[in-house]
Amino acid sequence: MMACCPFHNEKTPSFSVSPTKGIYKCFGCGKAGDNIQFIMDIEGLGYLEAIAHLGKKYGIEIELEESSNEVDQAQNERESLYIVLNFAKNYFKEALKSSEGNAIGLSYFKERGFSPEIIEKFELGYSMDIWDGLLKSAKENNYNEDLLEKAGLIIRNENKTYDRFRARVIFPIHNISGRVIAFGARILKTDKNQPKYLNSPETGVYHKSDILYGLHQAKQSIRQEQNCFLVEGYTDVVSLQQAGIENVVASSGTSLTSGQIKLIGRYSKDITVLYDGDNAGIKASLRGIDMILEEDLNVKAVVFPEGEDPDSYVKKIGGTEFKKYIKANQKDFITFKTELYLSDIGNDPLKKAELIKEIVESISKIPDAIKRSVFFKQCATLLDIDESVLIAEGNKTILTKRKKESERPRENLEGAENVELPEMPGVSLPLEINSLELQERETIRLLLNYGTEKLDETLTVHTYIFQELEDVDFQHIVYREMFATYKKEIEKGVFPAADFFLKHENASFKQETITLISVKYEVSNNWADKFKIIVPSEKDTLFNLAYFNVLRLKYRKIQELIKENHAQMLKAVEIDEQIQFMKVEQELKTTKTEIAKLLGMVV
């Protein structure tokens, strides 16, 4: 099955899923894996969590053995990061209950009108006004400094090691499944040397361009409402949630990214951007609207009265009225943009032309042609100009964009080699691989896909390949190891099917296997069943595939040997030695020519 890839931006599907093999592979960005890897990537989970997630989804009980130290139990760094971040979150929550936390942190939240329930829902906390509160407590609980630093919780320099967050209220940032991956923190003292908001740095689990604050708490509501409110600050999110408006998220610590928009797109195709009532800020963030259009989502925008932001306004008028306000005042992006600029334009025709260009630019970003034409019509009415002018202008923009895209240089896969080899069927090629390694790769591919297939009554693909390549040493380390492992299993009398390598503890075996058994296009059975058209498959030409692969591999290998031999010859001092190397070169070249003839190359 093919689909548009959930991991990268694309318009034509290159993401393939094979339910029978239990694997996925993107021929565009190269992401590949099995069911567990998929959950890890898409939900941002560690290995154990992904297992637990799947267990929960399918009602399979999973028992994890308890260990005294949680970090020991963690299988990888990601897992340890989640654990230490969770520890920090609990520490900050506790600190909010201390007398300092109460007096400073909690009173700030109360001032903002946050209820105890909402504080608990967002797991808000406080960091004490000392240098090493978290550091000390973490060390007492056997978390080491390296891990704390990797999690972005402490800062280490030559002179000292100290907490990143001090004397601030803490907003934990959760991933979609609700695990804490970072913190946003607001300072409460007046200190000119400190930023008002401080965020965790990027870590192994926190990539801010792919994270939306509040999405974990909002996702269900976004799905139900089929709309997502996008706001600017943490407090906007919390306040709206408290007022019963739950489909709300904020881009945390960055301007909106396409990763974040895609994330919303998984839950709803409609986004309403809620802007603070300040014109300068809005104009600066209009780029966000264009990006939403580019992702083929529908965008509306609302501005609040002068001096109000979503947080203050919802407090003033309450949740119900707030929803009504949005309903009455939200505008589609053209009307929004036009009205925003129209006030400055007055009767200036040049400025009007600029505005038209600006809006045409936005409309051209919409991938859907029908939607585009609807917007062109609307724009024409609104700005009182001829629709065909707009369309012509829009087409120009689109064409320039397409031209730019097609001019991008293509990767040269084969390199400057003297022989043209046919492209291998349905397999995407890694870039960092030379022609010899390419042939080694093809050997492994044949073994994985067709190892037990018969070439004639007695010969299978694997016996043939091992006979032919008995004394050939693979150059690529992974293929060499896979080849050796395959051979070992065969010698044990076990046939290692692709499954064996998919479950192998060596992660690169697994990755390579997924790539090598994924086929970009499979011929539908309908061709044969309904239309009686037989499309030859690889299986029908196995003999040729195996035979020519072996020859090509030998040809490439000999090329390498000639190169090595030649280098040694140049280094040789004694004349006898040189003659010896020359003889070898002669022999190698003869063999090379013979193989070339068999390959049907003009020699």
Nearer to Zn ion, 28 or 204 (CB): 28
Pairing between strand 197-199 and 212-213?
unpaired
Sole residue written with tokens 């008028």: 317
Q: Which three-class secondary structure string do you get for 14-42?
A: CEEEECCCCEEEECCCCCEEEHHHHHHHH
Q: Which residues, in sequence order, are bridge partners of residue 16?
A: 2, 25
Nearer to Zn ion, 41 or 594 (CB): 41
Q: Select the span of 18-26, 46-54, 124-132, 310-318 touching Zn ion (CB under 5 A).
A: 18-26
Query: How far, in Å, are 109, 121, 195, 308, 498 from residue 188 at the CA level?
Result: 11, 22, 11, 21, 59
CB of 14 to Zn ion, least distance (A): 6
Q: Is 5 in the site for Zn ion (CB under 5 A)?
A: yes
Nearer to Zn ion, 12 or 193 (CB): 12
Nearer to Zn ion, 95 or 517 (CB): 517
CB of 31 to Zn ion, least distance (A): 5
CA distance 255 to 94: 32
CB of 79 to Zn ion, least distance (A): 25
CB of 450 to Zn ion, least distance (A): 27
Residues 20 to 59 in contact with Zn ion, rule: CB under 5 A: 26, 28-29
CB of 302 to Zn ion, least distance (A): 34
Q: Is 8 in the site for Zn ion (CB under 5 A)?
A: yes
- The three-class DSSP label of residue 184 is strand
Q: Select the span of 5-13, 270-278, 280-288, 332-340 touching Zn ion (CB under 5 A).
A: 5-13
Q: Is 13 in the site for Zn ion (CB under 5 A)?
A: no
Q: Select the span of 8-16, 219-227, 240-248, 488-496 touching Zn ion (CB under 5 A).
A: 8-16
Calculate helix-pair angle for 234-242, 310-329, nearest 10 degrees: 70
Fill in the DSSP letter of residue 226.
T
Nearer to Zn ion, 29 or 62 (CB): 29
Nearer to Zn ion, 33 or 288 (CB): 33
- Token pair, residue 419, equals 């022989």
Nearer to Zn ion, 33 or 172 (CB): 33
Judged by CB under 5 A, how many residues of this single chain contact Zn ion? 6
CB of 295 to Zn ion, least distance (A): 15
Nearer to Zn ion, 28 or 319 (CB): 28
Q: Is 7 in the site for Zn ion (CB under 5 A)?
A: yes
Q: Is 154 in the site for Zn ion (CB under 5 A)?
A: no
CA distance 31 to 10: 14
CB of 6 to Zn ion, least distance (A): 8
Q: Which three-class secondary structure string do you get for 255-290?
A: CCCHHHHHHHHCCCCEEEEEECCCHHHHHHCHHHHH
CB of 29 to Zn ion, least distance (A): 3
Query: How far, in Å, are 76, 413, 420, 557 from residue 416 at the CA level?
Result: 41, 9, 10, 17
How many of the other CB atoms lie within 10 Å of CB of 152? 23
Q: Which residues, in sequence order, are bridge partners of residue 182?
A: 173
First to last CA, the chain: 44
Contacts with Zn ion, residue ranges (CB under 5 A): 5, 7-8, 26, 28-29
